[in-house]
Amino acid sequence: MFRSFWTFLYWILRPFVKWFLRKTTKLCELQRICYGERVGACRTLGVEFSLYHSRSKEIKQLIEYLNRTSDTVSFTGSNQEYVVQYAVHTIMQVKNIKPQIHPQLGKSLSTCIEHIWGYKQLIQEIEALRTTTYDSSKEEHEQKLLALWNFLMPKVPLEARITKQWQDIGFQGDDPKTDFRGMGLLGLENLIYFAREYPGAAQHVLSHSHHPQYGYAFAIVGINLTSMAYYLLKDGSAKTHVYNVCNKFPTMKVFHQFYCYLFYEFDRFWIESKPRNVMDFTFIKDKFEKCIRLSLVNPSTVFRINISIDNI
């Protein structure tokens, strides 16, 4: 009740506070954010909040246009540059800001717009992969699955397409295709990226998954962590990391690297938790996710894989 009162009071007073600050500083809210906040999440989150809560009809129409562009995955090629320039021009025109007097503001706004609507488009790209069912009748899908085996087990030939060998890299049965149901091709793409781009870390984690006491199903855990990464991105929790790590437009590579960080750190977290058996997985995963979410509340958060090979 107390919090609701202050929230209500804030929205009542917000227009007056903005008017007062503009009169005293001679700067609009977007200028104060871009000039006062450091590059990354602090600045972009501030700009995002300001734009989405603007009462300007023109700004609201601009947001609708930008949302349509990102939702249809149209931020590509020359269109990306045009849309960003149009958005910056519109904002500065509405705010009556002369670009020749404030050239740096245009650059700052461009980066923030790329962050905000690039993030929204990234969600659409990820959703498309997540909802694409693994189809063993498609050669492309089958080649990706075989590539995963070759990256993780380069010295061990696969005896057949359907074989118990798949359990060696953490699938549940003889045919991995059924394990991708929840996350579709996204789960497979994440696993491949981890194994291909961070082979040392992936082998390190895979060796831990074979531990006689603390072992777990590598691929199944990986797909569960794809789900975690997906929902952290979709509910906006991952914005702090993404806005901080990207100089420009967020790409699929950013999501893959975020996933790799989660997988590598979860493995460490799992071992340090000393689980009694795999039945502790849900409890430990939920505990790990809470730690990640808590870190993401900090607007300075950037996740990077800190590889330190150890023996257990």
More confident residue, 98 or 296: 296
pLDDT at residue 310 above 80? no
DSSP string over 83-149: HHHHHHHHHHHHTT--TTT-HHHHHHHHHHHHHHHHHHHHHHHHHHHHTS---TT-HHHHHHHHHHH
* pTM check: above 0.85: yes
What is the pLDDT at residue 46?
A: 96
pLDDT at position 254 is 97
At 42, the amino acid letter reads C
Average pLDDT of the segment spanning 160-186: 95
Local confidence band at 12 (pLDDT 50, 70, 90 cut-offs): low
Q: What is the b/e burial string over 256-273, where b = at least 16 CB atoms within 10 angstroms of the residue's CB? A: bbbbbbbbbbbbbbbbee
Q: Is 170 helix (H, G, I), strand (E, B) or coil?
A: coil
User: What pLDDT, on the 0 to 100 scale, is given for residue 307?
Assistant: 62
Confidence of residue 309 (pLDDT cuts 50, 70, 90): very low
- CA-wise closest residue to 216 among 144, 270, 149, 252: 270
What's the rounded Cα separation, in Å, for the pair 277 and 299? 36
Give the pLDDT confidence of 119-143 residue by residue, as tens digits: 999 999 999 999 999 999 999 999 9
Tell me the pLDDT of the chain averaged across its residues.
Answer: 91
The tens digit of pLDDT for each residue in 21-60 reads 455 655 688 989 999 899 999 999 999 999 999 999 999 9
